[in-house]
């Protein structure tokens, strides 16, 4: 078994003179100070804590936007296609490779754990959004426990040449699950900060006696509030891309079990069960929701324990 766990997701002197003159004539930097990585220090603990939390979220989104393409690029290199290949091309090539391994006796089982908690958090967030202010107290400031990804080889021991591919698959699965959890729940973490920003704006007069400092902090609060909205959009884009990667791997790396990908089938079944089942008809003797969408996870035999390993 390849188990991926996370206890847990910048010439000449004349040319120099001309450049200096051009920089001097440029307008002031418009990037919010909180998004530059520099700490916003006001001298007031409440305000400094708020800016530090916003900056931490910004850094996590920036890191996620780098890490997910890196994981896909490593997978693409290993299957012999360009790093920038579309994800559907990557999925097709990976399925070809894993199907070939299955023919050679090396079957795979990829299991994600903890993703259901992320999906539940997404559904709860949607419910809270429609419920209004009554649900504010239930919004967590931290993401749910980080999911894990486990890749097993129940058929036989992988050879060295095969092991290199499996390690990349396991790492990509871990990266996808981790980033899906972090970015999928980030909008829920920004909501308390957005509400906190409103409270901090209302207390500016009491917190800062100096008018110039008060104006600076007020401007920083406005920039931070706008940045939170942008971070929500960017995090959703990363979460969607991570979800696509998870589905790709779930389909390609489950050759030991016939049928649809287990994790995707589980999610679809959960969403379908929320709707009333369609009445059976002669052409459709049973509703799709009446049939188990996900086969039980097979338990490895004691002899298979020797095949469990971590990259």
In a domain? residue 157: yes
pLDDT digits (tens, 9 = 90+) for 98-148: 999 999 999 999 999 888 776 665 565 555 554 444 433 334 445 556 789
Q: What is the pTM of this model?
A: 0.69
Instruction: Give the DSSP letter of residue 151.
Output: E
Beta strand residue intervals within the chain, DSSP E: 2-4, 109-113, 148-152
Domains of the chain: total: 1
pLDDT for the residue numbered 147: 87
79 in a structural domain: yes
Evaluate whether residue 285 is within a structural domain. Answer: no
Average confidence (pLDDT) per 10 residues, the chain, 311 residues? 43 33 36 65 94 94 96 96 95 96 95 79 54 42 72 93 95 95 91 93 94 94 94 95 96 79 51 46 41 41 41 42
Q: Is residue 96 situated within a structural domain? A: yes
pLDDT at site 125: 54
Range of the domain at 236: 33-140+151-274+290-307
Question: Among 125, 115, 117, 120, which Cα is nearest to 274's?
Answer: 120
Assess if residue 126 is contained within a domain: yes
Return the pLDDT at 146. 77
Phi and psi for 110 in degrees, rounded to 5?
A: -115, 125
Kindly state whether residue 10 falls inside one of the protein's structural domains: no
Residue 87, in any domain of the structure: yes
Residue 166 domain flag:
yes
Report the candidate in 59, 107, 97 with the shortest Cα–Cα distance to residue 75: 97
CA neighbor of 224 nearest in space, from 24, 33, 29: 33
**Per-residue model confidence (pLDDT) at position 123:** 60
Return d(Cα 228, Cα 152) in angstroms, integer.
40
């Amino acid at each position: 078994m390849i188990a991926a766990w996370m206890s847990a997701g910048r010439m000449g002197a004349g040319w120099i003179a001309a450049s200096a003159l051009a920089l001097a004539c440029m307008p002031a930097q418009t990037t919010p100070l909180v998004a530059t990585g520099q700490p916003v220090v006001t001298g007031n603990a409440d305000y400094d804590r708020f800016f530090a939390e916003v900056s931490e979220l910004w850094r996590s989104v920036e890191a996620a936007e780098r890490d997910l393409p890196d994981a896909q690029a490593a997978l693409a290199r290993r299957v012999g296609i360009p790093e920038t290949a579309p994800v559907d091309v990557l999925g097709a090539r990976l399925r070809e490779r894993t199907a070939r391994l299955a023919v050679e006796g090396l079957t795979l089982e990829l299991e994600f754990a903890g993703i259901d908690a992320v999906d539940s958090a997404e559904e709860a967030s949607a419910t809270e959004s429609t419920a209004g202010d009554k649900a504010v107290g239930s919004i967590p400031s931290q993401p749910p426990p980080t999911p894990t990804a486990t890749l097993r080889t129940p058929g036989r021991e992988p050879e060295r040449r095969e092991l290199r591919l499996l390690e990349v698959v396991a790492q990509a699965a871990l990266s996808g699950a981790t980033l899906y959890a972090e970015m999928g729940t980030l909008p829920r973490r920004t909501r308390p900060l957005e509400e906190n920003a409103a409270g901090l704006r209302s207390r500016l007069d009491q917190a800062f006696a100096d008018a110039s400092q008060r104006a600076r902090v007020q401007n920083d609060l406005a920039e931070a509030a706008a940045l939170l909205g942008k971070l929500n959009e960017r995090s959703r884009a990363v979460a969607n891309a991570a979800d696509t990667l998870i589905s790709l791997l779930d389909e390609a790396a489950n050759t030991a079990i016939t049928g649809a990908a287990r994790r995707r089938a589980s999610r679809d079944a959960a969403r379908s069960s929320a709707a009333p089942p369609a009445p059976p008809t002669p052409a459709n003797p049973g509703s799709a929701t009446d049939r188990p969408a996900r086969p039980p996870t097979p338990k490895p035999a004691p002899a298979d324990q020797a095949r469990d390993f971590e990259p």
